[in-house]
Amino acid sequence: MNLPSVQEIIDDIEFLDDWESRYQYIIDLGKQLPEMPEADRLPELKVKGCQSDVWLITQTEGDTLHFRVYSDAMIVKGLLALVMAAYNHKTAAEITAFDIEGFFQAIDLEKHLSPTRGNGLKAIVAKIQTTAAHAL
């Protein structure tokens, strides 16, 4: 998975004129996420608090956390790609130090999401941040 960096995403989204184009960009990011085999989509790996089905698998390699995520909803996959750009392949310290709210504000994201999508996004972020905090 070769997602753009957080700064590249901010720059790309700022370049786009309207939210229809920005949504399409976010959906296209989600298409870059690898598929998750159905066998890996276990109930205990589902993220609670999301309207759509979202699965999160965490693997640790040394002090680096690696995540695999999946959703069957296109826009949610795009939101997961944003979160992966911020958190995947980072140390627990980098994850807990990263200003995810600042990232979302920089791309003007939250006011363009429905309340249920926003809550789901917060649930995913909270799960990853909790995982990182426990790894410290």
What average pLDDT does the segment 31-50 reach? 94
The per-residue pLDDT of the chain, averaged, comes to 95
For the question of residue 58 being annotated catalytic, the response is no
**CATH among 3.40.50.300, 3.30.9.60, 3.40.50.9100, 3.90.1010.10 for 6-135:** 3.90.1010.10
Choose between 1 and 20: higher pLDDT.
Answer: 20
What average pLDDT does the segment 39-49 reach? 94
Active-site choice (3, 50, 83, 92): 50
Distance CA 8, CA 14 (A): 10
pTM summary value: 0.95
**pLDDT reading at 26 higher than 80:** yes
- List, for residues 82-103, the tens digit of each pLDDT value: 999 999 999 999 999 999 999 9
Nearest to 48 by CA among 120, 131, 117: 120
Measured in degrees and rounded to the nearest 5, phi and psi for residue 71 equal -150, 150
**pLDDT reading at 79 higher than 90:** yes
Q: What pLDDT, on a 0 to 100 scale, did the predictor assign at position 1?
A: 62
What average pLDDT does the segment 29-52 reach? 94
Beta-strand ranges (E) seen in 49-132 are 54-61, 64-71, 90-91
**pLDDT reading at 30 higher than 90:** yes
Q: What pLDDT, on a 0 to 100 scale, did the predictor assign at position 51?
A: 85
